[in-house]
Chain A
């Protein structure tokens, strides 16, 4: 809300101020979270990992208009990439693990992008579902590498930068996660405002026109898919480092669907929307499942229906819309 206000007042410096406010907001929320839930930092770190996945879905769904229910494939590839590097090859340096996760995510993005982008509409959705199930079954079968349904354990990351041990309370992991999120957020904000990001938005609006303009639609989308894979891979690696275990659920259809729900809850086509959606959904899930584990699915379902009916632009999108209408009226 604040961001829109400032941006409306000084349009020429919208970009810098919006970005700074975003970074400041993430830092403030992170500090508040740290002091509000000191005993639950593991949950907060999990939220950050998932937020990276949701950001990466936003890149392809919100900015390119590719509907996907299989994006956890990229997240899981990052998690397993980092996990296998640590458990089988003894690469336990956290920064290196994160980079390996990003690379694994990028490769998974290339593979699943090459499959998913071959179709449109319903077929595209179905292809993405098929991709996530293939990844899931493949990981389950290759239990020598992935631990199968038992999960991949024995991930013991070294101290971060040789100084900060990953402690039992998850403080190091949490701070590392916040820093990663900030770096990714700033980079993505530059990316979506670059000419490349504009081209992606153009493809979302009208692919035929972009094609007629002389730009290659499919290779642009594929590039975005690879970038999206890197972001999701970083999220997966963060998850592997902080929980020290990788399970098959990180490659599941459920995670894909939930992450898409989070994105739409927050609002597609905006990085803030992705972050707000993730925090709201996971906080809500934690709250409801703690209060009454039997009913959390019903509540989540009702929440979804309510969002579709009453806030189709998502929380952030609706707030932005209301706000811009009010400023218009007063001007």
Chain B
């Protein structure tokens, strides 16, 4: 029972962190049809920013999150202008190569600038201890991660379903050419969604730093995980991504607890089963 409970909490927290990072990838993939393998690299950049800000300038946790999000978006915008814009609509192989190239560059630069060691982001005192919820106590950081995930899901749902920007975004996802013909400035929609996606990745990178430690090979290690989550959930769908994150986070965490010697065997087995059964993802809109 004890183990079951801690597995459930860890799985939920891990799933939520996965969700925060990969939802941006899912939206941009549904919108721009870009297989962006460099998404994890942006989460890693966010982690580095936060760690640097906290360690060297003594900025608090919340401040560090802001620095990370803004700094990563500032880095990402010129990349979108110069590199990503050229591969919209290219064959998938081209996109995979370009984004793997970007990932390699980011890893190399991070390794050079910050060294190969793990970077920590000091947690504030409120998040360090554990919280007693009556019959059991849970690590405060786990609760924080879960709350962040739920907040992001809610905010995104509101943005996409209830605002004028969301209408334009959905129109561009369904049919970009028609949306543009009706006066939606798809370029602007693309740029804003890309910035939001990168910002969320950076946010997730900071919040999840306890579960997914920040080091130069972060971008390569989790690159596949994020892509898999998006594919299993179905690109461009928030409920699909949420379901995929909880399912895969649960399977991965359970596997690590109960059969650690198998590594990620069950995770990828589940991926094969789900993708075979639902080729368009759990809530597929991928055309």
Contacts and interface: CB of A to CB of B under 8 A. Distances in A.
Interface residues on A, range: 35 or more
A125 B275 CA distance: 11
A131 B271 CA distance: 9
A300 B92 CA distance: 20
Contacts of B267: 133
Contact of A301 (B87, B103, B269, B280): B103
B83 A305 contact: yes
A121 B106 CA distance: 26
Nearest to B272: A130
B177 to A, nearest CB: 20
A296 B111 CA distance: 11
Contacts of B235: 122
A127 B262 contact: no
Interface string A266-299: 0010000000000000000000000000111111
Contact of B268 (A130, A260, A305): A130
Interface residues on B, range: 35 or more
B98 A304 contact: yes
B108 A298 contact: yes
A302 B86 CA distance: 16
B228 A304 contact: no
Contacts of A257: 100
A298 B105 CA distance: 4
B105 A301 contact: yes
A20 interface: no
Interface string A2-38: 0000000000000000000000000000000000000
Contact of A123 (B29, B107, B231): B231
Contacts of A254: 220
Contacts of A69: 96
**Chain B CB within 10 Å, residue with most, of A120, A268, A298, A309:** A298
B89 interface: no
Contacts of B90: 312
B69 interface: no
Nearest to A306: B101
B271 A130 contact: yes
Interface string A241-259: 0000000000001100100
A137 B265 contact: yes
A244 B40 CA distance: 37
A42 B31 CA distance: 47
B264 A268 contact: no
A115 B272 contact: yes
B263 interface: yes
B108 A67 contact: no
Question: DSSP class of B's interface residues: helix, strand, loop or mixed?
Answer: helix
Nearest to B109: A298
Contacts, number: 139
A179 interface: no
B107 A297 contact: yes
Contact of B108 (A138, A253, A294): A294
Contacts of B100: 257, 261, 301, 304
Contact of A134 (B96, B268, B276, B281): B268
Contacts of B83: 305, 309
B129 interface: no
B35 interface: yes
Given A137-B268, A308-B87, A308-B101, A122 B35 contact: yes
Nearest to A135: B268
Given A295-B112, A298-B109, A115 B228 contact: no
A326 interface: no
Given A133-B264, A264-B97, A304 B104 contact: yes
Nearest to A305: B101
Contact of B111 (A123, A129, A297): A297
Contacts of B104: 297-298, 300-301, 304
B98 A127 contact: no
A118 interface: yes
Contacts of A298: 104-105, 107-109, 112
A131 B267 CA distance: 11
Contact of A121 (B105, B264, B286): B286
A303 interface: yes
Interface of B: 29, 35, 83, 86-87, 90, 92-94, 96-98, 100-109, 111-112, 220, 224, 227-228, 230-232, 235, 261-265, 267-269, 271-272, 275-276, 279-281, 286
8 closest cross-chain pairs (CB), A and B = A298-B108, A301-B104, A304-B101, A301-B105, A137-B265, A297-B108, A126-B231, A305-B101
24 contacts: A67-B92, A69-B96, A122-B29, A122-B92, A123-B275, A123-B281, A125-B96, A126-B231, A129-B227, A130-B228, A131-B268, A131-B272, A254-B220, A260-B93, A260-B97, A294-B108, A297-B107, A298-B107, A300-B104, A301-B100, A301-B105, A304-B98, A304-B101, A305-B105
Interface of A: 61, 67, 69, 115, 118-123, 125-127, 129-131, 133-134, 137-138, 140-141, 253-254, 257, 260-261, 264, 268, 294-305, 307-309, 312
Given A130-B272, A295-B108, 16 more contacts: A119-B279, A121-B92, A122-B92, A122-B230, A123-B279, A125-B96, A125-B231, A126-B228, A126-B275, A127-B271, A133-B265, A137-B263, A294-B108, A301-B108, A305-B101, A312-B90
